[in-house]
């Protein structure tokens, strides 16, 4: 079967793709930018990649008419736009218009649990998208999930950050709100088993694990899994805005996502009807089991996808292609080079930079810069990296975004997502046994020029030290 996969670069899409290929399907992946979509060689023969922007109706003509079914996995609640609900509605409408022109026999949509009478903005948007998709001439299957627990999921990362960093937590009262978490493996099983399955046509289903827990219980459950003693006290006076800032400063989440999550966490997300468990013969795992699997993946450095690698986790607002060519005109450039002793060693050092490994020189200065960035509403340096030794185009790397990563070529280009009065690139490339390192800054106005000269005294120490550590 030929399956259309939207949201192919997202947390769910990246994990669903290899499952669909293993089932023998030919998969057409919709992405906004081919340059940030990495697929392994074993999948390439079964995967077609097309560039589609669902807000631009003309680009949807790239979707082939011969598809048999489509997964709709497009969400943007933490994007830079405040009217994301309106944009999600436009995307869904454009999708429906195109899907009606194809041979598709089913749409599978992953939504949120919307059983409460009062819904947050993002859950209301999910429900609205479901209504729009239901108007298509194609049977719709909607799977509604609450908190998804898995290595790299936003919920898991936030829980991990809070528990690891805070022995004692003074928390808002919404931590007593109940929810029904579900493991990422179970979500993927429900999605794949719903595909072209007539028993799921024109129906919506709540999916969740067997445990109904408060967010406080989820935090304490994580602490128990990590054998950490944690104390949590809830207070009634913390406003949604203060709660959002609390999450933003303590965890690696963006402020937009923190605000959206806080709004949603005041609403109970509990399954009303789980008949789909019997229909598809799926037995969801417990929260404890889901945590155990996620922690193993993290410890093995085998995280398949992370919410942080989505572009909405930072301030990157356009395609990678637009920034891939590092400019020279009207730029300040710090260039350095050095002969390498062992190419493989240097490559591995470059590909392990950032995150837990650090930046090889002046890590305390990088930390201070990340803290300052966080104070001014930037991404900070807490995002780290998804895997310790593997990076691909589009990945987040502390407060950088990977634009280009080619090990064979020995070339890595990073683009700064920190708050700056200009734009910055950091480039590494190996040519004829010489490592070339360049920090490029394109200033915006007088403040940009002043910024460059204010940090210039640190460049000699940081970039020269980094260059030596990458080689020796």
* Domain ranges (residues) in the chain: 2-308, 314-471
pLDDT by residue (tens digit) across 267-318? 788 999 889 999 999 999 999 999 999 999 998 888 888 877 776 666 666 6
Query: How far apart (Å, rounded) are the C-alpha atoms in residues 367 and 399?
Result: 10
Q: What 8-state DSSP symbol labels residue 311? A: G
C-beta atoms surrounding 247 within 10 Å: 23
Residue ranges of the chain whose pLDDT lies below 70? 76-82, 311-319
For the purposes of burial, counting CB atoms within 10 Å of the CB of 278, is it exposed (0-12), middle (13-18) or buried (19 or more)? Answer: exposed
Give the fold, CATH level 3, of 2-308.
Rossmann fold (3.40.50)
Q: Tell how strand 26-31 and strand 2-5 pair up.
A: parallel
Q: Which residues contact 43 (CB under 8 A, 6 or more apart)?
A: 17, 18, 21
Q: What is the CATH number of domain 314-471?
A: 3.30.530
pTM (predicted TM-score)? 0.88
The values of phi and psi at residue 172, to 5°, are: -70, 160
Q: What is the pLDDT of residue 32?
A: 87
Q: What is the mean pLDDT of the chain?
A: 88
Backbone angles phi, psi at 320, to 5 degrees: -65, -35
Could you tell me which residues come within 8 angstroms of residue 318 by beta carbon, excluding any fewer than 6 positions away?
none
Q: Say if 2-308 and 314-471 have the same CATH topology.
A: no
- For the stretch 422-427, contacts whose Cβ atoms lie closer than 8 Å and that sit 24 or more positions apart, written own/partner, are 422/448, 422/451, 422/452, 423/323, 425/323, 425/326, 426/400, 427/326
> Residue 321, Cβ neighbours under 10 Å: how many?
13
pLDDT score recorded for residue 434: 95
Q: What is the pLDDT of residue 258?
A: 76
- For residue 132, give Cα distances in angstroms to 86, 272, 324: 12, 22, 36
């Amino acid at each position: 079967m030929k399956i259309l996969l939207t949201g192919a670069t997202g947390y769910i899409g990246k994990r669903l793709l290899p499952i669909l290929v293993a089932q023998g399907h030919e998969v057409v992946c919709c992405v906004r930018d081919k340059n940030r979509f990495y697929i392994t060689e074993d999948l390439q023969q079964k995967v077609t990649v097309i560039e589609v922007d669902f807000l631009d109706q003309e680009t949807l003509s790239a979707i082939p008419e011969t598809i048999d079914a489509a997964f709709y996995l497009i969400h943007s609640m933490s994007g830079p736009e405040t009217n994301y609900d309106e944009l999600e509605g436009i995307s869904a409408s454009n999708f429906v218009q195109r899907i009606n022109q194809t041979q598709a026999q089913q749409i599978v949509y992953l939504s949120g649990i919307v059983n409460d009478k009062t819904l947050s903005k993002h859950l209301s948007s999910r429900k609205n998208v479901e209504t729009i998709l239901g108007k298509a001439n194609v049977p719709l299957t909607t799977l509604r999930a609450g908190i998804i627990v898995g290595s790299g999921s936003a919920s898991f990362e936030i829980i991990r950050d809070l528990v690891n960093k805070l022995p004692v937590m003074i928390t808002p009262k919404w931590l007593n709100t109940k929810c029904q978490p579900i493991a990422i493996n179970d979500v993927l099983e429900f999605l794949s088993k719903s595909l072209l399955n007539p028993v799921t046509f024109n129906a919506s289903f709540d999916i969740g694990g067997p445990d109904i827990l408060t967010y406080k219980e989820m935090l304490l459950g994580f602490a128990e899994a990590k054998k950490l003693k944690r104390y949590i006290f809830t207070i009634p006076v913390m406003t949604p805005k203060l709660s959002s800032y609390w999450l933003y400063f303590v965890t690696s989440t963006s402020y937009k996502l923190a605000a959206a999550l806080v709004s949603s966490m005041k609403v109970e997300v509990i399954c009303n009807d789980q008949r789909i468990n019997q229909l598809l013969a799926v037995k969801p795992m417990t929260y404890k089991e889901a945590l155990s699997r996620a922690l193993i993946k993290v410890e093995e450095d085998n995280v398949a996808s992370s919410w942080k690698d989505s572009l909405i986790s930072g301030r990157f607002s356009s395609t990678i292609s637009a920034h891939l060519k590092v400019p020279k005109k009207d730029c300040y450039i710090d260039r350095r080079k050095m002969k390498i002793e062992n190419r493989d060693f240097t490559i591995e050092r470059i590909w392990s930079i950032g995150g837990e490994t650090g930046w090889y020189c002046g890590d305390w200065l990088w930390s201070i810069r990340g803290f300052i960035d966080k104070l001014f509403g930037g991404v900070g340096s807490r995002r780290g990296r998804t895997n310790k030794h593997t990076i691909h185009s589009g990945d987040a790397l502390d407060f950088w975004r990977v634009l280009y990563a080619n090990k064979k070529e020995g070339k890595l280009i990073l683009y700064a997502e920190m708050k700056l009065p200009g734009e910055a690139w950091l480039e590494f490339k190996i040519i004829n046994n010489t490592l070339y390192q360049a920090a490029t800054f394109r200033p915006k106005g007088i403040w940009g020029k002043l910024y460059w000269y204010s940090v210039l005294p640190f460049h000699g120490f940081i970039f020269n030290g980094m260059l030596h550590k990458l080689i020796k």
